Structure 1
Amino acid sequence: MRMIKGTGLAVLPLLLGLLFLAASLTPSLIPREWLVQGVLGGLVMALGYLIGRIIMGLWWVMELPTLQERAALIFYAILTLPVIVVVIICLGKADDWQNGIRSRMGMDTVDSSETIRMLLVAAVVFAVLVLVGALLRVAFDYLRHRLYRFMPARTANIAGFLLTVFIVVVVTRDGVLDKVIANLDKSVTVAQHLFDTAPPAPSGAGIAGGKSSLIAWGAMGQPGRDYVTTGPSAAAISQFTGREALQPIRVYAGLAQAETPQERADIALAELKRLGGFDRKVLIVALPTGTGWLDPGAVDTVEYMHGGDIATIAVQYSYLQSPLALILETRSGLDQARELISTVHSYWKTLPRRTRPKLYIHGLSLGAWASMHGTGLFALLDDPINGALWAGPPFPSAMWNGINAERTPDSPYVRPTIGDGQLVRFASHTNDAGGPAGWGDMRLVFLQYSSDPIVFYEAASVFRAPEWMREPAAVDVSPDMIFIPIVTQFQLAVDMALANSAPDGHGHAYYGPDYVRPWVAVTDPDNWTDADSTRLAAHCDGGFHQGCRN
């Protein structure tokens, strides 16, 4: 299977690349704009081309039969026509596929997918990647030919390949990648407004970072300061419930507060004691997302339903966005969660059972993964916690994967049933956790959206369909989504990058009202009715960026 003279491109690899481009137009979990689709299309087209070149290279190395030029031209012509037809069909259906997702998420549909501009972007990305590949080939050829002077050709070829790989790794790791990470770290650190750039500290003594506080206001960071200074007041809670309310206690220690996770946990615990957090009826240990952000839609709702008789303690472990923190600072969140939960739990279990607060764990996204890791057997078996609410648990979470593996066989993968529901339940945008009845001594709830790629991504999707794709599509997932080896993997990777851009209640954009009934199921607030849940859900209009109205 030889190359056509003068093209410089192997025809079969190019046709495979075009099939990959067409496949990338099929829908996945999150709707894609034309620019993103163009980048994705160009990337998978280059990948298909590369796979084709590898296959052809192996064919030649094994010295298998090849077609003569005339026969090759006829063969290529026969193959090209159906490939072009497939590409045209997929381009024609691309709008409908994307609008199908958008309509299921309550988004406005689009009249045009900007096909021409999308194809131009795909072509540019493809050309750049092919050029990079050609430059790597030139480097490989140069190295192996230089090595021919000192060793046999086969050995030189292997050595040249390994040297090329080594150079690429060193350049990207110690050059480009290091600079990108350093700039990201610098930019997000500046965005935290630490120390000299921090706004004036609050003057009151009853707030973390304020007068007499053990926590430094300047070290808290912008997410922490927003967290402790916002949220519903006692007056707002009282107005909503019609009963007397307390001012909720919020404790937050920033990453710059101390050098080690244990030191930060100790300071946060001391501040919680100072503010009287253990005198409240409910205590929540919350782990923030990568940047240190806590979803007000999650915290505000539970403060309302408990009349403000509640304290929350949190510690920051990173400045990076969750996807970057997940890759680059994996241990930071896990270590901080373990130290914080262990420190609080160790003190909590020394208190009289009759008067100590009920203890719960909470986390969203990377905070969910970290807090699940930190909720070890000591918290579940040795004087166990009362429960946990984890939202958007990332796919690597060991506890989530272990629990999911125990689901009832006839229950949906995206919303499984675990046993009789006495210990673990799942909630989503369309189903609550079943209320406070029927539980055992501990209550664990996972809030997850069926269209959340952070939850349902699978690394094995490079060669096999994820289990949830083998079931009927959920209400906000396109029924036209199909599994395509390799391409689906890249679609889901792009979905993860876009997950927070979805409308509230879809993707990874967790919506304030969706926390209400799961929190009721977990914490069982006194004198709370289903009508109260409905009112609170209507009162909380924020979701991923806002909490409840004061």
Structure 2
Amino acid sequence: MKRIHEFPIRFLGSMSAVGTLSAFLFFAASLTPSLMPRTWIVQGVLSGTCAATGYAIGVFIGWLWRYLELPWLKKYVLAERAVTLAVAIIVSVVFLWQAVGWQNSIRELWHLELLDTATPIRMAFVGAATFFLWFVLGRLFSLAASRVSDWLDRYVPRRISNVMGVVAAISIFWLLGQGVILRYALDAADASFQKADLLMETETVRPLGAMVTGSEQSFVSWDGLGRQGRFYVTSGPRSAAISDFWKREALDPIRVYVGLNNAETVEERASLALEELKRQGGFERSVLVVVAPTGTGWIDPAAMDTLEYLHKGDVASVALQYSYLTSWLSLLVEPENGLDAARALFHEVYSHWKTLPADQRPRLYLHGLSLGALNSQMATDIYDVVGQPFQGALWSGPPFRSERWNSVTRMRNPDSPAWLPSFRDGSVIRFSNQVTPPDGDFSPWGTIRFIYLQYASDPVVFFDPASFYREPQWLRGQRGPDVSPRFRWIPVITGLQLVFDMAIATSSPIGFGHVYAPADYIDAWISLTDPAQVDAATTARLKKALPASRYQ
């Protein structure tokens, strides 16, 4: 029993003074605002992770100081720790007191209910538990490195054995993480998402109309469509609703979708999609869109519904599922699947499209959200289509890894901000957000049009690995309309904050973060596709008819 009571004292006594100070400072800094508002649970996990990172950095600084044999105040250790703890507690309390105001600085811009408290006790408890888990993991890493180093001491010099011990510990943890824990978790996630994809919602009924994907007459089986595919082909506006808006006759939009279980290979699925598209008369419509879904196969209804209304239903769209996993998991473990699917589908559709008479074929566009935007951008090489170019693309929430988006952002006009660039004369590429539509002081559109729809508060777009050690361009100068003016770059901390922001990016209210609003899609589609008989009054009426609340 005595040993149990002594454990906390021994535990605290074994902790690094510099590491403890650094941990508290990192904990305090983690409370400052970033792009996304955070709940107390998310804030607790983030703060605990930041504290653990700060502790590790502090331990390293202390080790380096001693290794370089710099002066060390050994006889003042107890006093040093007492002062360190006092300062750390004061700083943390002050920052905790400011946390509500920092979070409300985002919530106010996003028109959310303001918080009365940051629930500091619950948040601190979660943070402490998270820190302890990381601390234990760090001690296990240190133990593994020292054991290997001690064993190697018999064969090699001490400093070499230390280095080899650290390398061995890194290898062990990497192999365990990648080969065992991560693979097991991903296999479990894949099985879970696959089961979810096969589920039949009671409200999703197999379509009776012959000209619908998944019907008895369709080339695409209903069972193979998967959950997202079944939802996509049976949802969306029909001719009656569109006619009611326009007060004139409209068409039923064509939605073609091929699921992972509809064919064995991506090439077979792309070929099947083309045949189904031809069967339904997709190439006889005025607008044809090749859609790249997100990782689970989901297609944003706010994007497609608005386009179909704008063109009175005279729209055909086609998509190919490539994964069961959420976008970030799909990007992590199977990044080539989405790209292969996007390229195969575009190749099939474009190859047939360009054989049709130019005055009789539909205008061809690409579209993708998030991971779909990343894959869609790489679906084709401009040199492959320069002879017969398609009409353009709308890419919303392009992930930070998008090479084309990165290149254009880097080469933006110097007087434009990184969160809403202007590119050359705007005749080929334009950017849009919830405040600024893509029509402005630009030269007239050229033959091909590209629009990026992005919110300044979207961490999926604006995460940058370099933000751990360098202030992002989009934080300099004028801020985006939905970014807190109290957001400040802090080395390491900002990088960790943005990682957590990405994880919760789709939890934002529509019109902010990584959730795109129908009103913003309407502005983008109008600029991209030039729908007939759409003036300012009609645009306002459509935005009212398709409110954000309908898609939340």
TM-score scaled by structure 1? 0.94
How many angstroms does 1:138 deviate by? 2.0
Show the 5 A alignment for 1:77-226: 82-193=87-198, 201-226=206-231
Structure 2: gaps (5+ residues): 1-9
- Report what 2:5 is aligned to: none
Instruction: Give the aligned CA root-mean-square deviation in angstroms.
Output: 2.2
How many angstroms does 1:45 deviate by? 0.5
Mapped to 2, the partners of 1:182 and 1:545 lie a distance apart of: 31
How many angstroms does 1:325 deviate by? 1.2
- Report what 1:413 is aligned to: 418
1:431 to 2:455 alignment: no
Is the Cα–Cα contact under 8 Å of residues 46 and 129 in structure 1 kept in the other structure?
Answer: yes
**Residue type matched to 1:140 in 2?**
A
Is the Cα–Cα contact under 8 Å of residues 509 and 543 in structure 1 kept in the other structure?
Answer: no
2:114 partner SS: coil
1:327 to 2:332 alignment: yes
Is the Cα–Cα contact under 8 Å of residues 198 and 218 in structure 1 kept in the other structure?
Answer: no
Is the Cα–Cα contact under 8 Å of residues 17 and 80 in structure 2 kept in the other structure?
Answer: no
- Report what 2:7 is aligned to: none
Is the Cα–Cα contact under 8 Å of residues 234 and 247 in structure 1 kept in the other structure?
Answer: yes
2:246 to 241, 250, 257: 241
1:509 to 2:502 alignment: no
Instruction: Give the fraction of aligned pairs with identical amino acids, expressed as a percent.
Output: 44
Deviation track 1:333-379 (CA, whole Å, cap 9, x = no partner) reads 11111111122111111110011000011111111111011132146
Aligned in 2, Cα 1:300/1:198: closer, same or farther, shift over 3 Å?
Answer: closer
- Report what 1:36 is aligned to: 42
- Report what 1:345 is aligned to: 350
- Report what 1:290 is aligned to: 295
- Report what 1:9 is aligned to: 15
- Report what 1:445 is aligned to: 451
2:532 to 521, 526, 537: 526
How many angstroms does 1:233 deviate by? 0.7
How many angstroms does 1:471 deviate by? 2.0
Aligned in 2, Cα 1:417/1:94: closer, same or farther, shift over 3 Å?
Answer: same
Aligned in 2, Cα 1:545/1:221: closer, same or farther, shift over 3 Å?
Answer: farther
Mapped to 1, the partners of 2:454 and 2:200 lie a distance apart of: 37
Aligned in 2, Cα 1:166/1:437: closer, same or farther, shift over 3 Å?
Answer: closer
2:464 to 437, 447, 458: 458
Deviation track 1:378-409 (CA, whole Å, cap 9, x = no partner) reads 46523111111111111100111111122111
Is the Cα–Cα contact under 8 Å of residues 295 and 545 in structure 1 kept in the other structure?
Answer: no
**Residue type matched to 1:52 in 2?**
G
1:253 to 240, 251, 258: 258
Aligned in 2, Cα 1:536/1:257: closer, same or farther, shift over 3 Å?
Answer: same
Show the 5 A alignment for 1:461-472: 461-472=467-478
Is the Cα–Cα contact under 8 Å of residues 285 and 362 in structure 1 kept in the other structure?
Answer: yes
Aligned in 2, Cα 1:480/1:129: closer, same or farther, shift over 3 Å?
Answer: same
Is the Cα–Cα contact under 8 Å of residues 22 and 87 in structure 1 kept in the other structure?
Answer: yes
Deviation track 1:15-73 (CA, whole Å, cap 9, x = no partner) reads 01111000000000100111111111111101111011111112222222222313x55
Is the Cα–Cα contact under 8 Å of residues 511 and 543 in structure 1 kept in the other structure?
Answer: no
1:270 to 272, 275, 293: 275
Is the Cα–Cα contact under 8 Å of residues 280 and 310 in structure 1 kept in the other structure?
Answer: yes
2:504 partner SS: helix
Range with greater deviation from structure 2 (56-65 or 416-425): 56-65
Mapped to 2, the partners of 1:440 and 1:146 lie a distance apart of: 69
Is the Cα–Cα contact under 8 Å of residues 101 and 476 in structure 1 kept in the other structure?
Answer: yes
How many angstroms does 1:477 deviate by? 1.0
- Report what 1:307 is aligned to: 312
**Residue type matched to 1:229 in 2?**
T
Range with greater deviation from structure 2 (507-516 or 160-169): 160-169
Mapped to 1, the partners of 2:200 and 2:91 lie a distance apart of: 58
1:318 partner SS: coil
**Residue type matched to 1:125 in 2?**
T
Mapped to 2, the partners of 1:171 and 1:327 lie a distance apart of: 17
Mapped to 2, the partners of 1:467 and 1:157 lie a distance apart of: 40
2:61 to 55, 67, 80: 55
Is the Cα–Cα contact under 8 Å of residues 195 and 219 in structure 1 kept in the other structure?
Answer: no
2:486 to 477, 480, 485: 480
Deviation track 1:398-438 (CA, whole Å, cap 9, x = no partner) reads 11111112211111211111122111111111111117982
Range with greater deviation from structure 2 (408-417 or 83-92): 83-92
Aligned in 2, Cα 1:305/1:379: closer, same or farther, shift over 3 Å?
Answer: farther
Mapped to 2, the partners of 1:530 and 1:384 lie a distance apart of: 30
Structure 1: gaps (5+ residues): none
2:378 partner SS: helix
Mapped to 1, the partners of 2:515 and 2:550 lie a distance apart of: 5
Deviation track 1:50-101 (CA, whole Å, cap 9, x = no partner) reads 011111112222222222313x555556655554433222111100110111
Is the Cα–Cα contact under 8 Å of residues 204 and 231 in structure 2 kept in the other structure?
Answer: no
Range with greater deviation from structure 2 (435-444 or 412-421): 435-444
How many angstroms does 1:6 deviate by? 7.4
Mapped to 2, the partners of 1:428 and 1:304 lie a distance apart of: 21
Aligned in 2, Cα 1:222/1:96: closer, same or farther, shift over 3 Å?
Answer: same
2:14 partner SS: coil
How many angstroms does 1:261 deviate by? 2.1
- Report what 2:4 is aligned to: none
Aligned in 2, Cα 1:249/1:437: closer, same or farther, shift over 3 Å?
Answer: farther
Is the Cα–Cα contact under 8 Å of residues 424 and 443 in structure 1 kept in the other structure?
Answer: yes
**Residue type matched to 2:543 in 1?**
A
Mapped to 2, the partners of 1:195 and 1:48 lie a distance apart of: 47
How many angstroms does 1:200 deviate by? 6.1
- Report what 2:71 is aligned to: 65
How many angstroms does 1:162 deviate by? 2.5
**Residue type matched to 1:407 in 2?**
R
Is the Cα–Cα contact under 8 Å of residues 427 and 443 in structure 2 kept in the other structure?
Answer: no
1:397 to 2:395 alignment: no
Q: How many residues align?
A: 542
**Residue type matched to 1:516 in 2?**
I
Mapped to 1, the partners of 2:61 and 2:39 lie a distance apart of: 33
Aligned in 2, Cα 1:378/1:338: closer, same or farther, shift over 3 Å?
Answer: farther
Mapped to 1, the partners of 2:550 and 2:331 lie a distance apart of: 19
Mapped to 1, the partners of 2:336 and 2:288 lie a distance apart of: 25
Is the Cα–Cα contact under 8 Å of residues 379 and 385 in structure 1 kept in the other structure?
Answer: no
Is the Cα–Cα contact under 8 Å of residues 292 and 373 in structure 2 kept in the other structure?
Answer: yes
Deviation track 1:207-234 (CA, whole Å, cap 9, x = no partner) reads 1111221112111111111110111111
Deviation track 1:433-452 (CA, whole Å, cap 9, x = no partner) reads 11798211111111111110
Mapped to 2, the partners of 1:204 and 1:535 lie a distance apart of: 30
Mapped to 2, the partners of 1:194 and 1:12 lie a distance apart of: 53
How many angstroms does 1:286 deviate by? 0.7
